[in-house]
Structures are given as C-alpha cells and as structure tokens.
Amino acid sequence: MEGELYVRLGYTMDALYRSITRHLAYSLGVVPTQASKRDIYLALSYSVRDRLLEKMLKTNQRYEDSGAKRLYYLSMEFLIGRSLANNLRAMKIYDQVAEALQLLGTDVETICDQERDAALGNGGLGRLAACFLDSMASLDMPGFGYGLHYDYGLFEQDISNGYQREKPDSWISEAPALQVERADAACIVPMYGRIEETKDKWGRHNPLWLGWNLVTGVPYDIPIAGYGGLTVNRLRLFAARPSTEFDIKIFNEGDYLRAVEQKIESEKISKILYPKDSYEAGRELRLIQEYFLVACSLNDIVRTYEKDYSDFNKFPEKVAIQLNDTHPALAVAELMRILVDQKWVPWERAWDITNRTIAYTNHTLLPEALEKWPESLLARLLPRHLQFIYDINQQFLDRVVTLWPGDVDRMRNMSIMEEGPPRQVRMANLAIVGAHSVNGVSALHTDLIKKSLAPNFFEMWPERFNNKTNGITPRRWLCVANPNLHDLIEDAIGPGFVTDLERLRELEPFAEDPAFCEKFMQVKHGNKERLKDVIFNTTVVEVDPASLFDVQVKRIHEYKRQLMNVLGIIWEYLALTEDGVEPVSPKTFIFAGKAAPGYWAAKQLIKLIHNVGNTIEDDPRARDFLKVAFAPNFRVTLAEQIIPAADISQQISTAGFEASGTGNMKFALNGALTIGTMDGANIEISQKVGRENIYICGLTAYEIEKMKRAGSYKPKAMYDKHPMIKRVVDSLASDRFCPRESGLFAWLKDYLLADNEMFFHLADLESYVKTRELSTQEYVDKTLWAKKAILNVARVGHFSSDRTIRQYAEEIWDLVAIPPTEAEKSGKLKYTPSDPSSIATARAW
C-alpha cells in the first residue's frame, strides 16, 4: 500500500544467512564460495544495517507520535571503536549470526575482527560520549549525538626503536558499512564576511551579516542500537563540502582553479580530528570546526522543532542541548543569532530560551585545556556572533555590577572577554553564562569547579552547578569485551543485570564461594592467555599469564604519571638486582597509550618505558621476575582486549588533575584491583568497593593544593633524605637505561627535582611503592585476591553510564523515556512515513 513499509526483515538464523548471501551477491558482486573475510564482514554489516535502519525508522515514528522532548549531545568527539559485535549483542542475534557464518565456512569472531575502529576521539571525553549514546538508546530515551564526520580519526601509533611514530588513520573507507548519507538534510553554513549596520523598515538598529563564504554540511547517520534492539537512535555526523554557489561563474582557467582551491578549502574543515587534548592558541581551523559543528547541529535542531511548532515558546520544553566541554560553546551565540536575526524573537526572550535549553559539562581543570579564542579571529570568522557575545557579556556584567558594585577584580575575572593583548574570548565563561546547568564529572571535580575554577560564578548562581559522576556502558565493557565473565555472572545471579547494573550486588555472597572463585579466576586466566597472544603479535615480548598483570593504559600525559609507574618499576628492579629482594610474584607491567604528536615529554616517556623494559629483559637476574610490555596503538579495541586481562589497574594521577577517569571503572567491572590516588572517580570507587578492596596511595588534592600555596614541596630534600629515591633518580640520570643513547634521560633528574615540579612525582613515590608491594603480596594469596576482585565487580554497578544518563535526564534535561509499544515488541508494526524522502531511503534497501 502507498506510504507504508511492511516489515519483512527476519532475525532467525535462516533469514540472516539469506540476507548475508544476498548482500554478498547484490551489494558486493561476489558469490559466497569466493567471498573473502572482508566481503563477509561487509555483507554482514549491511545485513545488520538494514535491521538497524528498520528499527531506527520505527523509533523515530514512536518519538514523533509521543511529541516528547529530545536531547541533543553536541561533541567534537565520539570514540566509538568497533560496532559490529556490539550491534549483534544489542540486537540479540549474535548466536544466530555465529551459526550462519559457520555455514559460510568461517566464524563470528574472525569476521568481527575485520572491522576497523572508528577512532573519532582522543580519549576520555570522546569515549564518554559513545557510552552515553549507548545508554540513551538502551534506556529508550530520545537522545541524539551530533558530531563531525572526520575523514581521518586519531592517528595510528607505530613504535620504532621505542619511539612513537604517527600514521594517518583513514577511517572513511570503513564508514559506509555503518552509516547512511542524508543528502536531503544538508545545510549551508556561512562564515567570514562583514557587518553592515543598517536600520529595518521601522527604523530599528538592524545589523546585517554580509559577504560570507558558504560551506555545505552533509549529514551521515550512524544508527545507535539500544540493548534489546528495539530502540535505535542516531548519531549524526556532518561532513564539510563546498557550497554549489562556488562553482557558478567559471569563465576561465583562473576561475576554475580558484573554484578548485575553494573546494579543497571547504573540505579541509572535516578532514581530520585534532589529536590533542590540550588547546593551542589561534588554531583557526579548529575554531572553524567547532563553529561548523554548532552551525550544522543547530540548523538541524531548529528545523526539526519547526516541523511541529510555529513559534519558539516551547523550545526549551522540547529541546535540551548538552555541550560536551566548551568545544561547542559557540552554540550559545549561534542559537541567539538564529532566534534574533532569523526568527525575529526579541533579544530578552531569545536569551531566556537559549539559557533554558543549553547545559554545559566541564571535563578538565588543566589551564592549557581551557579554550580561549582571540577576539580578532572571531571578528574575522564570525563577526555577527562576536556582536552577540559582546551583548551577552554586557548584559551579564551589568548584573554583576548591581550585585557587587565597585568590585572591579570580580568583573575582570568573570568577564567573557579577557583583557589583552591579545583580547580573547573565554569559552568556559561563555558556556557558564549561557547555560542553565554546569556540571563536573566526579564529586571531587565538581567541588574543584566550585572552589577553584569558577568560585565567582558559583557564588552568583549556586543552583546552576551540579555533579554527574561519569559511567561506562556495561554492554561494551562487559558483554562484548568479556563475554565469559558476563556468562559466569549470569549463571550466578540470573539475567537482567546488564540493564540494571546495581544488581551485581547479588554477586557478593559468591565472593565466599570457592567453586565460584575458582571459575572466576579461570575466566581471568583465559583472558590473560588471549592478551599474551595479542602482545606477542604486536611487540614480540613474551609474557607469562601466570604472572601478575599490572596495567596502565590511557593517554600519555605528565599528570597521569606513567613516569611514577616507571620509577616504581626501577625501584623494584634495583631492589632485585642490587639488594637481592625478589618480588613475591613475577610481574608483568603492561602499558599502552598515545602521546599527542607535539608533546615532547610524553613521547620521551614512551621511549623510557621501552628502554627500561629492554634493560630488564637483557638482565638475566631480572627477566624471570619482571617484564615490561608497551602495546602499540592503544584504541577502544585494544582496551577491550587488555582490560579483561588485568589483575591490577593503575590510576595514579596527581590528585586534583584527573577530572574523573573512566578506565578506572572499566577495570573494576572486569575484576581488576585498583592502585589509585584520591583523584577523580577513584574516590567514589573506593567508597563503593570498600577501602579494604582497593589500594589507595598518595597525597590528597587538598594536601597538594596546600603545599603548592605554601611552596613547601621540596623534591630535592626528599631525594637527599631517602636513599632509594636517590638511587632511582640517579639511575635515570646515568646511562643505565640508554647505553646506546648517552644522556637521553638525564633531563628527568632535573625535572623531578625542580621545586616547581607540577605533578608531585617524588612526593607520592614512597607511598605508591609501598602500596604496590602490599598488592603484590596479596596477589599471591589467591583466595583473598579472588574475593577482593569479585567484590569489586559486585560493587561497581553504580558506575554504569545508565545511572549517569538517568541523572542527566532527571536533573538537567527533564527528559523521559519513550519505550517501545506492544506492537513494536511483537514486531508486527507497520511503518507509516510522514516524510516522503524517507520512503525513498527505506525502499532503496
């Protein structure tokens, strides 16, 4: 019947087999008997995509019918990793597909292993966004991601002679198996140009933005399947393309070449993900990217809203926008511009709408990561937005003056504009002023936002500030990454805990059950065996699964203190080789992580880890006790292999610097014990699992802050006083770890002994090493260890991103779930498209 699409896709083994072979023939042009693994991977992905799109259309219909509020998560990064196995698990067709693939002469793991990671993010912030999308879909919430469709994701890391080498990550070739292009929803984005101060027909001031260049934003939709597979939301990623206006007047070769140049210029915008986690002043292309994301997303959001409403009075009741850090903070100015300049909403009214719609999450206190953009750059790129920022600031400062008359320092501190030279726009201030909610990502972090980052703002608007402790999705970080542990838990406590993670508590009694403990340790051992192969294939280091796997995997950064871990290893190495103190268990130290390409100190640390590892391996006194492996090219997929195999998880940032951490949660959920400082979410993890089930060391954020203020940290005195600290530091200054590259690590001694050493390595070293020793001793007692590990698993249900998203939904977004109807659940629903263009899209498949 016209306008209706009957559901014909099957989910049985049979139907899936037919779908895969059909795609082999008609999408790829190969006969099944000649299909390569890659062909089968693609054919399976297309079969999965068909089914996801079917459910996505139904989900959309359900949301439309309900008229419910929608949440839009604006983020420059979505660190998704692989999708196929995750989608098979979500749709509960993993076993059927496994059987179908067997008929094709292969197996599901091999096929899932063909997929490349979508590495559209740097680290924690991007991975959090991906976990949030998973949770929103799994909770049946109308929550959608908006991001950029980068051609190149985060660089690939090769290691050559212990040094990091970067290679481009061309993700684009992989993308078609996941996404649908939405050429029909493309939008046009203006930039550059000038302002003409004119008057409208009533004689009112009416500035016009003229002479802009135009770029087109083409959306690509990636379906995001909720667990159970009935709710499928979407992540919409925009690619930059030249606007057709560019090519209209090509009269001669000169024009033609200019048109080509402009084409390249526009496409540059979504070419590459910035590989940094700190911001660098004046990077024009980065600001253009941020604006491009904001302009495309808001255009889409407003257009969707206007399908149902003719004025903007209900906008904040129907739309919530969450800013993932300040990267999309221009949304404040862009929404104002749309409302005032394009929709004729009065300024004050527009401001109220903007403020009630937008919320902001802060993810870091590091000064070098706080974005500021030169006023001159904004004046050139976005002259009209700058006017709005001035007006917003003026209105805001007028309020500050009435509240605190004469307090010039406070005004200067709170102003969105920073005095120069050069004058700059402070994006955090713009976000705080523009949003109705400002949240941190752990209890400590939120406290520090209130007390150190933005105390004046907190004083002005205490109700605006709130905490949302991060979480992780148990679907990826347990079901997909550690299926054997998932199955063991399910055997013990029954199904359902994957969407109700607090239920893991029911596992507590099993910590005392010897049979369960035995099985638990067997699962861990199996995971360690598999990781051994991964490490051998990528590093040629041979590790022993019977040794303690002590793991630190994350971006390489001074504040994360991989260096302190290395100092600990050297300490144990010297104790063993010079003092004859054998560790009670053989230990394998596993590292992985990328350093930003321009971050010299971080890259040196990678080299140091390799050299220390080699020195130990070359030393017959040490090699049977200690081993160091650096697994190259850390990414989501490698994390999925490493984390389930860890005995110890190292979370040792200088207190006050790691906003939350999420790796800490992934490890605990997979039964590793944490060695950690009182930083970020470690504090809350220790409260949940109990102090006796976690190894806490080091100074607190408060103690460090106090020492910094008093200038009382004297690392040289510690070095003089403590013979072992002296020996460890001196060994770095010698050529012991760089016999063929004399002097390579000498800088580290000066670095560690400087009074202004920001990260307090030596201050925490002794406490850290003692704590490590304790953990190694306890590891030898397998009964004790199994008990503690199981209690960690049982008590970290709180850190499901489902809990985090529920809190955002209730306390910030006022968003409710729109669960599948009975008809959807029974699979009989007809889909009636309201938008004719979606019929074409649906029919094409």
Number of alpha carbons in the 13 Å side-chain half-sphere of residue 623? 9
Report d(CA 653, CA 554) in Å as an integer.
Answer: 11
What does 562-619 look like in DSSP terms, one character per residue? HHHHHHHHHHHHHHHHHH----SS-EEEEEE-PPPTT-HHHHHHHHHHHHHHHHHHT-
The contacts found for 201-204 with CB under 8 angstroms, 24 or more apart, are none
List, in order, residues 6 or more apart from 187 with CB less than 8 Å away: 216, 217, 295, 296, 299, 300, 303
660 binds ligand 26V, rule: CB under 6 A: yes
Report d(CA 101, CA 17) in Å as an integer.
Answer: 7
Q: Which of 224, 189, 159 minimizes the C-alpha distance to 632?
A: 159
Annotation marks residue 271 as catalytic: no
Pick from 74, 100, 125, 790 the residue near ligand 26V by CB under 6 A.
125
Considering the complex, state which of residue 49 and residue 688 has its C-beta at the smaller distance from ligand 26V: 688
| Tokens, residue 412 | 């200067």
Report d(CA 813, CA 315) in Å as an integer.
Answer: 13
The mark string for 671-690 relative to ligand 26V (x by CB under 6 A, - otherwise) is: ---------x----------
**DSSP-based three-state secondary structure for 664:** helix
What does 160-183 look like in DSSP terms, one character per residue? ETTEEEEE--B-TTTGGGT-EE-G
- Residue 612, phi then psi, degrees to nearest 5: -60, -40
Annotation marks residue 666 as catalytic: yes
Per-residue H/E/C for 523-537: HHHHHHHHHHHHHHH
Annotation marks residue 402 as catalytic: no
Residue nearest to ligand 26V (CB): 124
Considering the complex, state which of residue 337 and residue 798 has its C-beta at the smaller distance from ligand 26V: 798
Catalytic annotation, pick one of 149, 234, 363, 528: 363
Considering the complex, state which of residue 134 and residue 325 has its C-beta at the smaller distance from ligand 26V: 325
Strands 695-696 and 673-676: parallel
Shortest reach from residue 128's CB to ligand 26V, in Å: 4
325 binds ligand 26V, rule: CB under 6 A: yes
Report d(CA 39, CA 573) in Å as an integer.
Answer: 49
153 binds ligand 26V, rule: CB under 6 A: no
85 binds ligand 26V, rule: CB under 6 A: no
Q: Which of 834, 845, 677 minimizes the C-alpha distance to 759?
A: 677
276 binds ligand 26V, rule: CB under 6 A: yes
Considering the complex, state which of residue 131 and residue 725 has its C-beta at the smaller distance from ligand 26V: 131
Give the binding-site size for ligand 26V (rule: CB under 6 A).
23
369 binds ligand 26V, rule: CB under 6 A: yes
Pick from 44, 128, 488, 744 the residue near ligand 26V by CB under 6 A.
128
Shortest reach from residue 272's CB to ligand 26V, in Å: 11
Report d(CA 171, CA 182) in Å as an integer.
Answer: 19
470 binds ligand 26V, rule: CB under 6 A: yes
Choices 204-212, 363-371, 736-744, 782-790 (CB under 6 A): range interacting with ligand 26V = 363-371
Choices 61-69, 249-257, 655-663, 818-826 (CB under 6 A): range interacting with ligand 26V = 655-663
Shortest reach from residue 505's CB to ligand 26V, in Å: 24
Catalytic annotation, pick one of 51, 127, 236, 560: 560
Annotation marks residue 69 as catalytic: no
Question: How many angstroms separate the most distant Cα atoms in the chain?
Answer: 90
The mark string for 772-811 relative to ligand 26V (x by CB under 6 A, - otherwise) is: ----------------------------------------
Annotation marks residue 662 as catalytic: yes
Catalytic annotation, pick one of 182, 372, 555, 795: 555
123 binds ligand 26V, rule: CB under 6 A: yes
Pick from 97, 441, 454, 480 the residue near ligand 26V by CB under 6 A.
441
363 binds ligand 26V, rule: CB under 6 A: yes
Per-residue H/E/C for 428-439: HHHHHHHCCEEE
Pick from 171, 238, 274, 745 the residue near ligand 26V by CB under 6 A.
274
List, by residue number, the catalytic residues. Answer: 363, 554-555, 560, 662, 666
Residues that bind ligand 26V (CB under 6 A): 122-125, 128, 274, 276-279, 286, 325, 363-364, 369, 441, 470, 658-662, 680
